[in-house]
Chain A
Amino acid sequence: MSIVRAERDKLKSIIRGAKRFARLSAETAPERRSDALYYRMLQTYYERIIRAHGEGNLIVAHTVFFPEEVIYAMDMVPMHTEATTWMITLFTGESAGVVSAGAELGLASEICTPHRGLAGAVATGVIPRPDVVLWSNLVCDNTAKSGELLVKLTGAPGFFLDHPFKETPEEIAYLAEEIADMVRFLEAVSGKKMNWDRFSEIIARMDRQLELIREINELRKAVPTPFSPQGFMQLLTADYLFPGQPEAIEYLTALRDELAAMVRSGKGAVPQERFRLMSFFLPPMYLTGFFEKISREYGAVSVTEPFFTFWGEGKLDPSKPLESVARKSYMIPEMRMYGPLDDRALKSINRCARDYRIDGAIYYADVGCRHACATIKLFKDQLAEMGIPMLTLDCDVVDPRVTSEDEVREKLEQFFELLEACRHGGKGRTEAAEAIGIGIDVGSLSTKAVIFSGREIVAHAVIPSENESEASARAALDRLLSETGLRVDGLPIVMTGTGGKSYETGYGRHGINTCLARGIHHLYPAVRTVIDLGAETTAAIRVSPEGDLTGWENQDKCAAGTGLFVQQMAKLMGVSLEEMSALSFRARSRAEISNTCAVFAESEVISHIHRDPPTPMPDLAAGIYASMAGRILAILKRIGVEREVAIVGGVAKNSGLIRILEEALGFNVIVPEEPRIVAALGAAIIAREKAGGGGS
């Protein structure tokens, strides 16, 4: 593994970015001194790294949740590995480059992007090479193994800090002794001696820092909350990068004072606070600006992050710096998630939910973080017991290729709608007499439109989607109006679907799942679970007895079970979709399609067709449907099945698939006569309500 010099200096970009933000903040919100202080802190941090070698200082790379108080105490320059990758993403928007460089080093994709990115950045020389590498096993196997690679890449001396698991006196003592070993190691490699007085000062300041964080956390409990929607990222950075440092104290004090003033005057961070949220894990760095924007749009604020900002109790004793820094490590909020996930850890979720009066929670499910994702269902269930919904957002903290802003916006909007509905339930809906509502669902393959009179569907249309959603919507409308002779002026129209963004109507857009719920409720009020088998995605939703959306799960990274998949299969078999369905009824047995992935399933189907003797077509059709049914069942397992169950979407017209699905479920499902228009119907229902002056 060699190191190649590159021209772009990422740290300089970070510094420039920080300066720009500091200036902007001073201009737009001069009363928010804390913001300017925060960006100045970041500037200083990276300037110090850039100057280090020139000033004869050592750069010490270290992993997350590390006791870098030790590094500061010995007057060396810390470089936080994961945070630096985040900062590169945040300020330069160019994480893809360093992540790719990491891949080129041959690093497996199992290694999360913050680590792959950092290794890539070091290898390509876009950040200064560290002189010492420190790492620990907090919080996962990735951090535990990352150091060896960096040591290999840089040739620098390294020390692994073994961080134990449970909060007991023995383990705290073990950690303190490990840290003592680390001090000796640093003394040996640097030729410098630990300055114990400075170390004690740092501990004293760290203790103060924790006090300030706790005060800030108290202030955030206020309704409306005074702290900006994504402000917790700043709190985190202060922890990660500046433990016990004067600039952190200055920042946190200024912040505390600002928040206190806002609370006193009853001011909130957003003009109209509508949704108080609990956050788990980190939102994608490259979407930080977007999250701030959308938070303000919807009045959504993250008021608590149990495993990131909710520090445990305890005082630090400056006269015992080693022991204190070890104790502090156990107070880190994330330790509650690393150590055995016992009731104490879980109860902190309930506590925060109550104390901060949250409406919902968002779990940023980073694909690279295994130990975090394993807690998604657990936390969701924990919150569900309190009646609090949780949204899971698949993402990657640094890699923008995993999910797009559009996808995130759609999911967030749908979630906020769900939260709103939870608040109001089915009450407060008025029926407008005589009024007609129109719903348009713009999908990736087809656009559906419905005219609803309050009692019946007056007309509906299903046409192929055009490239532009606006054109699709207009075309669908035109079709409807030509059929019915109605005039569109003044008629309430609600849009939904993936393409429903750009065509503006006076009555706006609603989430596809909300519309599905309302639509199915009108058609079959007994339905509680709906599976939407669309062209490209599969989703499962839960519906309340009043017709409100109470939860949903998506399967949008996987093609198996979708319309495109079954179309492709039919093509391979050389039959139409209707023929394929009819064939399946004649199956004597079912072909085994073992692969759950559509790409590999395709090659299995091909081998079934070409083997000698070939698998009978009926058996093959049935086998394909069985495989699709398996994928559908997998989503149902995530959301839970409650009867009655309805299947909607174009793929629901496959009676062969439905039969096999019913067998797998063990009961019959409901398939509406025209299964593609249910969401459009729901949109039309909502349109009517809005016209009537009431409703959601």
Chain B
Amino acid sequence: MTTHLTQETASPLHGLSRFKALNESFPHTAQILDYKRRGKKVFGWLCTYVPEEIIHATGALPIRIIGYSHEANLDDATAHLYVNNCTFSRSCLQLGLEGQYDFLDGVVGGSTCDGARRLFDIWRQYVGTPFHHVLTVPRKYTERAHQLYYHEVLAFKHHLEEYLGLKISDEALRHSTEVLNRSRQLLKRLYELRKREAPPISGAETMEVLNAAYRMPKELFNEWLTELLEELEESDRQFKGRARVMLNGSVLTNPQFIKSIEDQGALVVTDELCTSTRYWGDEVILDDGRPLLEAISRRYLNNFPCARMHPSDERFNRIIAFARAYRVDGVISQIVRYCVPYCHDLPLLTERLKEIGIPTLALDVEYGSSGSGQVATRVQAFLEMLEANRR
């Protein structure tokens, strides 16, 4: 077993500790409270198919709604969503019912998966957020689907404008797109660093950066991430591991889970999650002849697919490209219990990866799990197998 830098012994990064500190207060952050104090609005969005640019262009702060980063008591949410809905939807609703998302002026969702759909429905009835909007999101990538989704994005824009009593100018929308594109570029650069044989940042640390992205103004995020990237490029940090692993599957926001895997000696060099690469995925393509709003809506529908999209090959092909680019030895697929689209995809994806010589470890988890006990044992065994494969 090669020795590796554990996260405790890696030299601290000022840029990273800033993000971590911000994540400590959840779900509100100092920035969110500041926005509210200045009389500005904060809108929560639920899925990667909600166009953040639209919210941003109104001057409001877009916040991603996520749940507790630990296995919390979800009794109130369970009473509403029932025991057989995923712990992600229940965890988010729990926070909503407890009043922890009371700072939200609005909630925006999409007709994405059953869990998200019902979370939105029940939230609307039982949590007193003033503004609600849900976008229809087609499941295909056809021209027709793009047109429908564009229509939905436009309707969302109009609804927001009406509610806030303003008009989103083209300049504002352009500016917001550029800001968010910058975030995507910076995150891409961050991920590129992990392609190295010995990356300077771990999977768990990367998740801290992403978590912060969801609850701070993107302008400030871009500043902080730029500084962190500079720090990383100059640092001599090196993470080594027993095998290079891609983590994928259902929604995941707990860095502790990733750390549990990395503590076993895995190098989580990349991930395919809706809270990581499926989020920042593609940039909005500007200036190629399309009107801006159309460019935005195209980007969102074509973005790194959620398992709900059809055909599933689109997602599989992208995952395989990732696996190759990051020279991944194995894939760890964590599926939240009752996460139907992802558990359906799993056997088919596992076969595709097997065809190119990449084994998969499937983990049955609850959202918020920190990955102790059983997970550690199974990851251990998986890593041993990957090491044997390499020999």
Complex Cα gap A374–B80 (Å)? 6
User: A374's contact among B122, B137, B311, by CB below 8 Å, is which?
Assistant: B122
Asked if B138 contacts A374 (CB within 8 A), the reply is no
Asked if A160 contacts B340 (CB within 8 A), the reply is no
Asked if A140 contacts B114 (CB within 8 A), the reply is yes
Complex Cα gap A111–B337 (Å)? 11
Asked if B136 contacts A145 (CB within 8 A), the reply is no
Q: List residues of chain A with CB within 8 A of the CB of B121.
A: 340-341, 374-375, 378
Q: List residues of chain B with CB within 8 A of the CB of A152.
A: 348
A165 located at the interface, meaning its Cβ lies under 8 Å from any Cβ of chain B in the complex: yes
Complex Cα gap A160–B312 (Å)? 11
**Interface residues in B1-55 (C-beta closer than 8 Å to A):** none
Complex Cα gap A377–B122 (Å)? 9
Asked if B75 contacts A633 (CB within 8 A), the reply is yes
Asked if A171 contacts B71 (CB within 8 A), the reply is no
Complex Cα gap A174–B117 (Å)? 20
Q: A162-B145, A637-B79 are in contact. Are A371 and B136 (CB under 8 A)?
A: no
B169 located at the interface, meaning its Cβ lies under 8 Å from any Cβ of chain A in the complex: no
Q: Mark A648-661, 1 if CB is under 8 A from B, else 0.
A: 00000000000000
Complex Cα gap A634–B75 (Å)? 5
Complex Cα gap A638–B307 (Å)? 32
A166 located at the interface, meaning its Cβ lies under 8 Å from any Cβ of chain B in the complex: yes
Q: List residues of chain B with CB within 8 A of the CB of A188.
A: none
Q: List residues of chain A with CB within 8 A of the CB of B340.
A: 110-111, 140-142, 145, 370
Q: List residues of chain B with CB within 8 A of the CB of A299.
A: none
Asked if A162 contacts B81 (CB within 8 A), the reply is no
B334 located at the interface, meaning its Cβ lies under 8 Å from any Cβ of chain A in the complex: no
Minimum CB distance partner of A638 in chain B: B79
Minimum CB distance partner of B119 in chain A: A374
**Interface residues in B328-361 (C-beta closer than 8 Å to A):** 337-341, 343-348
Q: List residues of chain A with CB within 8 A of the CB of B118.
A: 341, 370-371, 374-375
B144 located at the interface, meaning its Cβ lies under 8 Å from any Cβ of chain A in the complex: yes
Q: A110-B343, A166-B136 are in contact. Are A373 and B148 (CB under 8 A)?
A: no
A425 located at the interface, meaning its Cβ lies under 8 Å from any Cβ of chain B in the complex: no
Q: Min CB distance, B133 to chain A, in Å?
A: 10
Minimum CB distance partner of A372 in chain B: B82
B278 located at the interface, meaning its Cβ lies under 8 Å from any Cβ of chain A in the complex: no
Complex Cα gap A365–B73 (Å)? 23
Q: A144-B308, A170-B151 are in contact. Are A110 and B134 (CB under 8 A)?
A: no
Minimum CB distance partner of B97 in chain A: A637
Asked if B138 contacts A108 (CB within 8 A), the reply is no
Q: A370-B115, A374-B118 are in contact. Are A170 and B148 (CB under 8 A)?
A: yes
Q: Mark B117-145, 1 if CB is under 8 A from A, else 0.
A: 11011101100000000101111100011
Asked if B80 contacts A149 (CB within 8 A), the reply is no
A574 located at the interface, meaning its Cβ lies under 8 Å from any Cβ of chain B in the complex: no
Asked if B144 contacts A370 (CB within 8 A), the reply is no
Asked if B82 contacts A374 (CB within 8 A), the reply is yes
B78 located at the interface, meaning its Cβ lies under 8 Å from any Cβ of chain A in the complex: yes
User: B84's contact among A174, A370, A375, A630, by CB below 8 Å, is which?
Assistant: A370
Residues of B within 8 A of A (CB-CB), count: 50
User: B82's contact among A174, A178, A373, by CB below 8 Å, is which?
Assistant: A373
Q: A142-B340, A174-B144, A378-B125 are in contact. Are A370 and B114 (CB under 8 A)?
A: yes
Asked if B80 contacts A377 (CB within 8 A), the reply is yes
Q: List residues of chain B with CB within 8 A of the CB of A377.
A: 79-80, 82
B111 located at the interface, meaning its Cβ lies under 8 Å from any Cβ of chain A in the complex: yes
Asked if B151 contacts A164 (CB within 8 A), the reply is no
Q: List residues of chain B with CB within 8 A of the CB of A108.
A: 343-344, 346
Asked if A164 contacts B148 (CB within 8 A), the reply is yes
A177 located at the interface, meaning its Cβ lies under 8 Å from any Cβ of chain B in the complex: yes
Asked if A111 contacts B343 (CB within 8 A), the reply is yes
Q: How many A-B residue pairs have CB under 8 A?
A: 125
Q: List residues of chain B with CB within 8 A of the CB of A282.
A: none
A505 located at the interface, meaning its Cβ lies under 8 Å from any Cβ of chain B in the complex: no
B211 located at the interface, meaning its Cβ lies under 8 Å from any Cβ of chain A in the complex: no
B179 located at the interface, meaning its Cβ lies under 8 Å from any Cβ of chain A in the complex: no
B310 located at the interface, meaning its Cβ lies under 8 Å from any Cβ of chain A in the complex: yes
Q: List residues of chain A with CB within 8 A of the CB of B345.
A: 145
Asked if A162 contacts B82 (CB within 8 A), the reply is no
Asked if B344 contacts A171 (CB within 8 A), the reply is no
With most chain A CB atoms within 10 A of its CB, the pick from B83, B122, B345 is B83
Asked if A160 contacts B344 (CB within 8 A), the reply is no
Q: List residues of chain B with CB within 8 A of the CB of A368.
A: 84
Q: A171-B136, A341-B121, A637-B79 are in contact. Are A141 and B84 (CB under 8 A)?
A: no
User: B75's contact among A110, A365, A637, by CB below 8 Å, is which?
Assistant: A637
Complex Cα gap A371–B340 (Å)? 11
Asked if A148 contacts B145 (CB within 8 A), the reply is no
Q: A141-B113, A177-B144, A371-B114 are in contact. Are A160 and B310 (CB under 8 A)?
A: yes
Complex Cα gap A140–B117 (Å)? 10
Asked if A637 contacts B76 (CB within 8 A), the reply is yes
Q: Min CB distance, B286 to chain A, in Å?
A: 26
Asked if B85 contacts A374 (CB within 8 A), the reply is yes
Complex Cα gap A91–B74 (Å)? 40
Q: Min CB distance, B84 to chain A, in Å?
A: 5
Complex Cα gap A374–B137 (Å)? 21
User: B136's contact among A111, A165, A369, A637, by CB below 8 Å, is which?
Assistant: A165
Q: Min CB distance, A316 to chain B, in Å?
A: 23
Q: Min CB distance, B281 to chain A, in Å?
A: 21
Minimum CB distance partner of A636 in chain B: B75
Q: Min CB distance, A2 to chain B, in Å?
A: 14
Q: Min CB distance, A97 to chain B, in Å?
A: 22
Q: List residues of chain A with CB within 8 A of the CB of B151.
A: 170
Q: Min CB distance, B5 to chain A, in Å?
A: 30
User: A106's contact among B117, B144, B341, B347, by CB below 8 Å, is which?
Assistant: B347
Q: Mark A361-401, 1 if CB is under 8 A from B, else 0.
A: 00001011111011111100000000000000000000000
Q: Min CB distance, B188 to chain A, in Å?
A: 30
Complex Cα gap A630–B75 (Å)? 9
Complex Cα gap A642–B3 (Å)? 59
Complex Cα gap A165–B149 (Å)? 11
Complex Cα gap A92–B114 (Å)? 32
User: A149's contact among B82, B308, B344, by CB below 8 Å, is which?
Assistant: B344
Complex Cα gap A660–B144 (Å)? 60
Complex Cα gap A177–B348 (Å)? 29
Q: List residues of chain B with CB within 8 A of the CB of A369.
A: 84
Asked if A630 contacts B73 (CB within 8 A), the reply is yes
Complex Cα gap A676–B153 (Å)? 61
Q: Mark B77-118, 1 if CB is under 8 A from A, else 0.
A: 011111111100000000000000000000000010111011
Q: A140-B114, A141-B341, A177-B144 are in contact. Are A367 and B139 (CB under 8 A)?
A: no
Q: A141-B114, A148-B344, A341-B121 are in contact. Are A374 and B81 (CB under 8 A)?
A: yes
A288 located at the interface, meaning its Cβ lies under 8 Å from any Cβ of chain B in the complex: no
Asked if B78 contacts A365 (CB within 8 A), the reply is no
Q: List residues of chain B with CB within 8 A of the CB of A633.
A: 75
Beyond the given pairs A376-B82, A634-B78, 9 more chain A to chain B contacts, judged by CB atoms under 8 angstroms and listed by A's residue number, are A110-B338, A140-B114, A144-B139, A148-B348, A340-B120, A370-B84, A371-B117, A373-B85, A374-B121
The 5 closest A-B pairs by CB, nearest first: A145-B344, A374-B118, A373-B82, A165-B136, A141-B340
Residues of B within 8 A of A (CB): 71, 73, 75-76, 78-86, 111, 113-115, 117-118, 120-122, 124-125, 134, 136-140, 144-145, 148, 151, 307-308, 310-312, 337-341, 343-348
- 6 A-B pairs (CB sep. < 8 Å): A141-B114, A141-B344, A170-B151, A340-B120, A370-B340, A374-B81
Residues of A within 8 A of B (CB): 106, 108, 110-111, 137, 140-142, 144-146, 148-149, 152, 160, 162, 164-166, 170-171, 174, 177-178, 340-341, 365, 367-371, 373-378, 594, 630, 633-634, 637-638
